[in-house]
């Protein structure tokens, strides 16, 4: 119970619960769209989805500043690849939150003279840029971990057993698909934070890709991907050991 209270007391925790509810509603609406006997339920789910979206926008009013601070912090990283990807990703995320805040201000009537469609497109572009850079970071970290595991003598013996070859032969055929797949899966198994972050970013990619018309899917796919990434986000927040660092 203490863990639940601690989680819900965090603004990020509440945002992720709202986000999971929002996309669960979107998925449910899509699944029930052809059910003529459940029109009232569909209408209620749509209203709940709208309320969750509005609530999340309110929670994120200060997130642009947090992202800029995170971008500044990531410039101090000694690894140049991590420094570049994380800095630009955090800066893009800050711009995404800024656009989102402007859209919220327009929706409540604080600002009127802005183009909603233009700001919404800019928001999705910034979000997509942030996700792509975070995925690049995930791939870079995974490749580093794979190279490290490849040098491990104990793993070479396991690789040999998997391929039915001696360790020397196993090392020679590492670039082949079977060995590469085995190495990748073993690396992700040993480092679940990398696996979860990669899966979360891949799921999130479908949202801006659909909104921008780059890769059109449907409301069901967007709802499912958003729900999955939200649940993964809740996991990484509830169990900090599963969160990618840096």
Q: What is the mean pLDDT of the chain?
A: 88
* Crossing angle of helices 153-163 and 116-150, rounded to 10°: 90
Percent of the chain exceeding pLDDT 70 equals 87
pLDDT at 64 over 80: yes
Report the C-alpha gap between 136 and 29 in whole angstroms: 33
Flag whether pLDDT at 135 surpasses 90: yes
Q: What is the pLDDT of residue 126?
A: 97
Lowest mean pLDDT among 101-105, 175-179, 229-233: 175-179
Q: What is the pLDDT of residue 113?
A: 85
pLDDT at residue 84, as a whole number: 97
Domain spans of the chain, in order of start = 2-242
Residues 6+ apart with CB under 8 A from 74: 82, 83, 86, 87, 90, 246
**Whole-angstrom Cα distance, residue 64 to residue 209?**
22
Total Cβ atoms within 10 A of residue 216: 10
Asked whether the predicted pLDDT for residue 233 surpasses 60, the reply is: yes
User: Each residue of 5-49: pLDDT tens digit?
Assistant: 555 557 788 889 999 999 999 999 999 998 888 899 999 999 999
Among the listed ranges 86-100, 104-118, 133-147, 222-236, which one has the minimum average pLDDT value?
A: 104-118
């Amino acid at each position: 119970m203490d863990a639940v209270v601690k989680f819900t007391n965090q603004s990020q925790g509440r945002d992720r619960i709202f986000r999971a509810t929002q996309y669960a509603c979107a998925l449910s609406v899509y699944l029930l769209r052809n059910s003529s006997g459940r029109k009232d339920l569909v209408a209620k789910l749509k209203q709940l989805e709208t309320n969750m979206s509005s609530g999340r926008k309110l929670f994120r009013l200060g997130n642009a500043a947090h992202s800029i601070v995170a971008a500044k912090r990531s410039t101090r990283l000694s690894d140049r690849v991590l420094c570049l990807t994380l800095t630009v990703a955090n800066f893009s995320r800050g711009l995404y939150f800024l656009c989102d805040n402007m859209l919220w201000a327009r929706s409540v009537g604080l600002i009127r003279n802005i183009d909603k469609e233009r700001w919404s497109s800019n928001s999705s572009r910034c979000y997509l840029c942030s996700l792509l850079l975070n995925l690049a970071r995930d791939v870079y970290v995974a490749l580093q971990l794979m190279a490290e595991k490849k040098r491990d003598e104990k793993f070479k013996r396991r690789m040999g057993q998997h391929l039915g070859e001696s360790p020397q032969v196993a090392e020679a055929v590492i670039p082949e698909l079977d060995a590469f797949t085995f190495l990748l899966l073993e690396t992700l198994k040993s480092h679940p934070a990398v696996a979860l972050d990669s899966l979360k970013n891949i799921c999130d990619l479908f949202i801006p890709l659909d909104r921008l018309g780059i890769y059109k899917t449907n409301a069901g796919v967007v709802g499912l991907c958003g729900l999955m990434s939200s649940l993964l986000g809740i996991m990484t927040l509830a169990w900090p050991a599963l969160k990618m660092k840096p």
